[in-house]
Amino acid sequence: MWEERQNLRTANVEVRERLNGPERNWVIGRLVAQKGISGALWRPEQPSRLTVDYDADVVKGAELLDVLQVYGLHARPARIET
């Protein structure tokens, strides 16, 4: 079966809280359960950075920050690395 065409985007966010492994896994599980979010990954080299892949036709970038806030996390868009 063919999947519908998606408007895939990637967002990098910085989370203020320091989470342990199980807590990070819980956040990823909750995120990918959201409609329009296809994946999430914590960056091992930057423990406060979370990368989220999403369908921009379903979820807006700013909504990702709202979702994280519902989970009790303080997040902001990550600075672009140069």
Which residue matches tokens 């700013």? 62
pLDDT tens column, 18-48: 999 999 999 999 999 999 999 999 988 888 9
Separation CA 55–CA 21 (nearest Å) = 26
Q: What is the CATH number of domain 8-77?
A: 3.30.70.100
Q: In which band, very low, low, confident or very high, does the pLDDT at 6 lie, cut at 50, 70 and 90? A: confident
Which pTM value belongs to this model? 0.85
DSSP secondary structure, 3-33, as one string: PPP--EEEEEEEESS---HHHHHHHHHHHHT
Separation CA 42–CA 48 (nearest Å) = 8
| pLDDT in the model for residue 1 | 44
Instruction: Tell me how crowded residue 10 is: count the other CB atoms within 10 A of its CB.
Output: 12
Domain ranges in the chain?
A: 8-77
- Which has the closest alpha carbon to 55: 25, 26, 32? 32
